[in-house]
């Protein structure tokens, strides 16, 4: 039943502390946390606020593993390193600038277990845009009726246009539609950024992030590529209401000229 929460981090001591505080407020009883740091100076977890949240999590009975993963060889290698540390049936890749509301992990675990698919995601929402409603970007919204089916989703396809669902505060506006329902709602996605729970076996079976060796160190979209592979073989879903809030800090991946899915076949 245990979930391994995998957090890649670099140069974000304040954001990491907030991310860990969200984990400390979860009601899911059995999860461990693995943090891999690639900061240029001191590790992000070596700040007083992050250290305090690590103590809280450990006091609650959640194992916390902190490691340095250097030299930097790109985010795909960083995620692959974290996946290698995990042992649980389900792994939650959580970015270091995402706060989870209480109950988020329980909801995600319930969804992936009941749906029986390869991954479920909580799309991160930017609450500074909460008054910016974009109904035209919500038009691709479509719910799953039953277990998600495998889908081959690539750039240029109709399914790829679902990416607009996760712009700005769109996940919050979609969540408002389903708040009256008794449990989570599964919907069709292109991919989900920042907060994704995988069936670990499914992710490993499609190669995990081993493709890092085919990429230059400066790249992005490695999470998208892995999700494309999982969705094509095992099915994927986003779930609402979303419980993931983006901290809206400046990105630490400034060079976005190389998309992983442009160089490696999904």
- Percentage with pLDDT > 90 across the chain: 88
- Asked if 245 and 98 count as a contact pair (C-beta separation under 8 A), the reply is yes
Sorted by where each starts, the structural domains of the chain and their CATH numbers stand as: 3-262 (3.90.550.10)
Q: What is the pLDDT of residues 97-140, one digit of tens each?
A: 999 999 999 999 999 999 999 999 999 999 999 999 999 999 99
d(CA 163, CA 167): 7
Residue 253 confidence class, pLDDT cut points 50, 70, 90: confident
**In this structure, what DSSP letter does residue 138 have?**
G
Coil, helix or strand for 61?
A: coil
Q: What is the pLDDT of residues 52-72, one digit of tens each?
A: 999 999 999 999 999 999 998
Mean pLDDT of the chain: 95
pTM for the model: 0.96
- What does each C-alpha distance from 235 to 46, 131, 152, 229 come to in angstroms? 38, 33, 9, 9
d(CA 86, CA 225): 20
- Residue 181 pLDDT exceeds 70: yes
The closest of 132, 94, 92 to 7, measured between CA atoms, is 94
CA 54-105-116 angle, 5° bins? 140
CA 117-121-123 angle, 5° bins? 155
């Amino acid at each position: 039943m245990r979930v391994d929460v995998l957090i890649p981090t670099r140069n974000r001591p304040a954001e990491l502390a907030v991310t860990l505080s969200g984990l400390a407020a979860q009601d899911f009883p059995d999860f461990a946390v693995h943090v891999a740091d690639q900061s240029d100076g001191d590790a992000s977890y070596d700040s007083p606020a992050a250290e305090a949240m690590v103590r809280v999590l450990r006091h609650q009975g959640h194992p916390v593993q902190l490691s340095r993963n250097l030299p930097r060889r790109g985010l795909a290698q960083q995620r692959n390193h974290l996946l290698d540390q995990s042992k649980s049936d389900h792994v939650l890749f959580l970015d270091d600038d995402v706060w989870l509301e209480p109950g988020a992990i329980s909801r995600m675990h319930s969804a992936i277990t009941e749906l029986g698919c390869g991954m479920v995601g909580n799309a991160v929402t930017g609450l500074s845009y909460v008054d910016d409603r974009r109904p035209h970007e919500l038009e691709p919204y479509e719910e799953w009726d039953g277990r998600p089916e495998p889908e081959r989703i690539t750039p240029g396809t109709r399914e790829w246009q679902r990416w607009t669902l996760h712009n700005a505060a769109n996940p919050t506006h979609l969540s408002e539609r389903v708040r009256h329902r008794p449990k989570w709602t599964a919907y069709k996605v292109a991919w989900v950024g920042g907060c994704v729970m995988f069936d670990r076996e499914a992710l490993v079976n499609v190669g995990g992030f081993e493709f890092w060796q085919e990429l230059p160190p400066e790249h992005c979209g490695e999470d998208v590529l892995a999700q494309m592979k999982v969705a094509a073989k095992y099915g994927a879903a986003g779930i609402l209401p979303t419980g993931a809030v983006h901290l809206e800090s400046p990105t630490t991946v400034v060079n976005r000229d190389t998309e992983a899915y442009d160089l490696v076949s999904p």
